Amino acid sequence: MKKILITRKLIKDSEDKASKTFNPVFNTNDELYSQSKVIEMSQGCDGILTSLTDKMDKETINKLPNTIKIISNFAVGFGNIDLNAAKEKGIAVTNTPDVLSDATAEIGILLILGACRRASEGIQSAKDGGWKWSADYLIGKQLTGTRLGILGMGRIGQKIGRIAKSLGMVIHYHNRSKLSEDKEDGAIYHDNVKSLFSVSDVLSICCPATKETENMINKETVEYFPKGAVITNVARGDIVDDEALIDALNRRKIYAAGLDVYKNEPNLNPGYLKIKSAFILPHLGSATKDTRIAMANLAIDNIDEFFNTGKCSNKVN
């Protein structure tokens, strides 16, 4: 039976599954392991089930014992892992696609609604009490008839598009390639980000974090948006230059932001704390019990498939 290090605590159903499949080393206290701790704990193991909180850079991977043959990431993303370093060391890397699309899309819609309808300000006002209704009290942006730009039209982007369309929004998108007509579902394709941003009253960032998308929202590109646009991010924090977005919010070029992800999580750039129109969540995209169990179970299945067949359908390197 293969010995597997599981770096973060999983929901009991998934830990039970791991115990039936492998000889697992659990993180019972859900401690955030340092890179040196991961290296230490992986001694004698055949594989590692990592989380996005684990920084598996080149130095860490090179110091892993030679017994490690697979890193199964408990996430759809894998920006925390140096794929090339793993490949050079003969370590397969896998992720957990598909199973979190619905839950993440729901948070994407929540970000759009929360940012457009000034939810953070409303929540604080209700808690403070003593608010008085008036015709212009906490006026926000209505979604019906508003143009939604989707940056990255994968499964999550498509789901957000379908829900947003049912709310009366007009869907535009940019993707690496144009989708088939049935997947577009009436959405309008833009072959470059400048074109997409220029028509986006609201933007939903759904693309993966890559070298090409890093800081795609920056000092230059925020100027492409219509004045008073809303920017939301349900993908990865690396796609947004925080300082550029904060500046755009402060000078009202950008009306509001809705962020479930941001750089240096969980440490939010303090500039956002001074902006009332920033609607911020603590990376809740996949945070439903069913989804987290499905993700962990798939991460376990990825390891099992790899050791049984020598390959894995969810291999990313």
Chain segment 2-30, per-residue pLDDT in tens: 999 999 999 999 999 999 999 999 999 99
- In this structure, is the dihedral angle defined by the CA atoms of residues 203, 208, 213 and 217, taken in order, positive or negative? positive
- Tell me which fold the domain 101-280 belongs to: Rossmann fold (3.40.50)
Predicted confidence at residue 304, as pLDDT, reads 98
Known catalytic residue: 265?
Answer: yes
Known catalytic residue: 292?
Answer: no
CATH superfamily membership of 3-97+288-309 = NAD(P)-binding Rossmann-like Domain (3.40.50.720)
Predicted confidence at residue 127, as pLDDT, reads 96
Predicted confidence at residue 192, as pLDDT, reads 97
Catalytic residue among 8, 236, 292, 305: 236
Predicted confidence at residue 79, as pLDDT, reads 85
Domain with CATH 3.40.50.720 in the chain: 3-97+288-309, 101-280
Predicted confidence at residue 67, as pLDDT, reads 98
The percent helix, strand, coil of the chain (3-state, each to 5) is: 35, 15, 45
Predicted confidence at residue 264, as pLDDT, reads 92
Known catalytic residue: 283?
Answer: yes
Q: E strands of the chain, at which residues?
A: 3-6, 23-25, 47-50, 70-73, 92-94, 147-151, 170-174, 188-190, 202-205, 229-233, 254-259, 278-280
Predicted confidence at residue 101, as pLDDT, reads 95
Predicted confidence at residue 77, as pLDDT, reads 86
Catalytic residue among 184, 214, 223, 265: 265
Look up residue 121 and give its amino acid.
E
Which stretches in the chain have pLDDT values below 70? none
Catalytic residue among 147, 155, 162, 283: 283
What SS3 state is found at 93?
Answer: strand
pLDDT digits (tens, 9 = 90+) for 53-86: 999 999 999 999 999 999 999 998 898 999 999 9
Predicted confidence at residue 209, as pLDDT, reads 86
